[in-house]
Amino acid sequence: MTSFWADHRGALFLFGVTTGVAASATVQYLRTLLFGPADHDFHGHTDHNKDSLQDPNQPNQETLARLERDFTLTTAQLQSLVKVFVNDMKRGLRSDTSVFKMIPSHVTSRPNGTETGTVLALDLGGSNFRVCEVNLEGKGVVRTRQRKFVVSDDLKTGTGEELFDFFADCVIAFLAEIKLPKDVNMKLGFTFSFPVQQLAINKGIAIQWTKGFTASGVEGKDVVGLLQDAFHRKGLKIEVSALANDTVGTLIAHAYVDASTYVGVILGTGTNAAYVERVDQIPKWKGAAPSSGEMVINMEWGAWGSEGVLLPTTSYDKQLDRASANPRAQIYEKMISGLYLGEITRYVLVDLISTGELFRGRGSAALAKPYNFDTANMSRIERDHTIELSDTRSVLEELSGIQHTSLADRRLVKRVCELIGTRAARLSAVGIAGVITKINRLDGCTVAVDGSVFEYYPHFANRIRDALREVVGVNAESIVLAQARDGSGQGAALIAAIN
């Protein structure tokens, strides 16, 4: 050891009298002499470790800067997208050739909070089927009793008659539970959250099954008629008075509580919006003008970006789209909805691992599996405010089996989640601002929002509000984003009651 200090006393002298870059280089020199090269010197990816002053507990700054360029939307971009959004809405109201289908819902009245009575509602959204008793008590007060039933895979893939008979049996079981006779005469609203060509308030042709349903004899048929036939077979005297989309139902349900509600939005596993439009602004509407002069429009806005609109997609978005079950479709939905946010994040993490920028290049089979990193993991990571990001460590260990992650790794993963979650919220704000701009409600409007992403994803609602301020300025203070839980069932009942 004596010979070492003798051999390198010149370097030690320099270390004592120099500062800045020279001192930094000397420190690195001594570190190498004493301890040998750093671990990363043995890896092929050294470009992002070239700064010897890089804090080992912080992510590489070049990596962060690149990701922030990819996923950050400027105010100017948001404002430009809103203009395109409004123009696409107008195209959809003129004809069915637009990326926005802008489907007239045949709902021409909104509740005012004074309605009273008891109505049944059925809500088929996927694997769960809900039967609800909705009591309208006036003054915007609603009381609901409900029961959930699980739709088995056999029913999903069997015959339509078996499926709709199951729905009727669920109604019978629910009536018995709330002590109402089987032959009670009541109105019923039916929320059917699958693509439908709506022909009347109580008539709609099923276009295509989704969400794992393939039951035969349903596509191309009137789903209200199928349900009414099942009721007749089972001896029920209930009248199916209204067919509703879940987003339309969310709007109508909240309008009962707040008369200034003109927009309903779903931000959950999927996404959609509905809003109140003046009939004279719907050139493609060929029916009689309703006395209200208005019509609720089901936008099907998740398809935005599928026909040439240049949404600010990244290479990761393009990878996800190519590998999806519906390439070049539902682009907007793939950028903002809960089904896809975790998958975009997974693509980013896999890429960072492949370049050695994350976990020292150590991947895992679990992380390589599509859709194995879901949006709930992102929520948990974004909610982690521990000093060592210990919950993030747990997520990564539980999910992928990756042990001994560094604090820098965990901070990088959290930042990826923040960037993708923030972009989703800001793009959601584009849609909301576009709708409100189109209907000239910037001076005041309530937007009823349902869905797990809006309700549970950390900071999502506030990020939407921040983006709205950037896009519409002080008018954003007049736009109320109201949580509307389980509005689809109540909405269907209200539609049955008032139309």
Residue 269 φ/ψ, nearest 5 degrees? -55, -40
Residue 378 lies in a domain: yes
In this model, does residue 20 exceed pLDDT 50? no
Both 280 and 312 in a single domain?
yes
Q: Looking at the 3D structure of the chain, how many domains does it have?
A: 3
d(CA 177, CA 175): 5
Both 351 and 424 in a single domain?
yes
In this model, does residue 475 exceed pLDDT 70? yes
In this model, does residue 317 exceed pLDDT 90? yes
Q: How much is the pLDDT for 247?
A: 94
Secondary structure string (H, E, C) spanning the chain = CHHHHHHCHHHHHHHHHCCHHHHHHHHHHHHHHHHCCCHHHHCCCCHHHCCCCCCCCCCCHHHHHHHHHHHCCCHHHHHHHHHHHHHHHHHHHHCCCCCCCCEECCCCCCCCCCCEEEEEEEEECCCEEEEEEEEEECCCCEEEEEEEEECCHHHHHCEHHHHHHHHHHHHHHHHHHCCCCCCCCCEEEEEECCCEEEEECCEEEECCCCCCCCCECCCCCEHHHHHHHHHHHCCCCCEEEEEECHHHHHHHHHHHHCCCEEEEEEECCCEEEEEEEEHHHCCCCCCCCCCCCEEEEECCHHHCCCCCCCCCCCHHHHHHHHHCCCCCCCHHHHHHCHHHHHHHHHHHHHHHHHCCCCHHHCCCHHHHCCCCCCHHHHHHHHCCCCCCCHHHHHHHHHHHCCCCCCHHHHHHHHHHHHHHHHHHHHHHHHHHHHHHHHCCCCCCEEEEEECHHHHHCCCHHHHHHHHHHHHHHHHHHHEEEEECCCHHHHHHHHHHHHC
Both 33 and 120 in a single domain?
no
Both 416 and 276 in a single domain?
yes
Residue 429 lies in a domain: yes
Residue 161 lies in a domain: yes
Residue 253 lies in a domain: no
Residue with tokens 């309700």: 455
The pTM (predicted TM-score) of the whole model is 0.84
Both 217 and 277 in a single domain?
no
Both 327 and 387 in a single domain?
yes
pLDDT, one tens digit per residue, over 440-456 is: 999 999 999 999 999 99
Catalytic amino acids? 211, 246
Both 415 and 364 in a single domain?
yes
d(CA 148, CA 123): 9
Residue 225 lies in a domain: yes
d(CA 124, CA 153): 14
Residue 496 lies in a domain: no
The stretch 331-343 carries a mean pLDDT of 96
Q: What is the DSSP letter of 480?
A: E
Q: Containing H/E element for 425? A: helix 407-438
Q: For position 181, which CATH number holds?
A: 3.30.420.40
Both 212 and 123 in a single domain?
yes
Domain final position from 193, 214, 244? 244
CA distances 254 to 115, 241, 284, 316, 493, Å, are: 13, 20, 27, 37, 12
Residue 250 lies in a domain: no
pLDDT, one tens digit per residue, over 119-133 is: 999 999 878 899 999
Both 417 and 471 in a single domain?
yes
- Helices then strands, counting H and E runs in the chain, come out as 19, 13
Both 45 and 73 in a single domain?
no
Considering the chain, what percentage of its residues have pLDDT values greater than 70?
Answer: 89
- pLDDT, averaged across the chain: 89
In this model, does residue 400 exceed pLDDT 50? yes
Both 239 and 383 in a single domain?
no
Residue 490 lies in a domain: no
Both 410 and 465 in a single domain?
yes
Amino acid at 400: S
pLDDT band of 12, cuts 50, 70, 90: very low
pLDDT band of 53, cuts 50, 70, 90: low
Q: How much is the pLDDT for 51?
A: 47
Query: Containing domain of residue 161, as a range?
Result: 108-244
d(CA 386, CA 85): 40
β-strand partners of 278: 294
d(CA 296, CA 252): 9
Q: For position 364, which CATH number holds?
A: 3.40.367.20
In this model, does residue 17 exceed pLDDT 60? no
- Please check whether residue 460 is in contact with residue 454, taking contact to mean a CB–CB distance below 8 angstroms: yes
Residue with tokens 């189109």: 438
pLDDT band of 265, cuts 50, 70, 90: very high
